[in-house]
Amino acid sequence: MAGMLNYYFLIWAVIMRISGRHLALKGASSSLHLRCLVLYPKCMSCHWTPQDGAASNTTFHLRYKMRGVTEAEECKDYVTSGPNSCYFSRTNLCLYLTYEIWVEAGNRMSEKLIVNTE
């Protein structure tokens, strides 16, 4: 029983650690809501809500890097978790590491948003 409680507490702690944050675009009044959920130890899923008034042809790219790594990678699975999301399967997820995660909008008006999971 105690082992199961520790397991659920660890899941809760990881989810709280990688909670989404509202970040405003520089020079804009709207925001992009990015949130990530870790289903320990199976997967992680990140979802975002586009800004109010975003053009329908705007493309979004989720990028991430692990702490200490200089090269960012792009999401490998935009399909599994639905629209405006990125899915990290167990094979693409390194546990117990800190990720820097952000979404880039493909149009000229947008700037990079960064979410640090520390």
Q: What is the arithmetic mean of pLDDT over 82-108?
A: 82
Predicted local distance difference test score (pLDDT) of residue 14: 42
Q: Where are the domains of the chain?
A: 2-116
16-52 pLDDT, tens digit each: 444 443 333 333 434 577 888 888 778 889 998 887 7
Which is nearest to 62 in space by CA: 8, 117, 115, 6? 115
53-87 pLDDT, tens digit each: 666 777 888 989 888 888 999 999 999 999 999 99
In this structure, which CATH number among 2.60.40.10, 2.40.160.60, 3.90.1300.10, 1.25.10.10 belongs to the domain 2-116?
2.60.40.10
pTM score of the predicted model = 0.64
- Determine contact, residues 48/33, Cβ cutoff 8 Å: yes
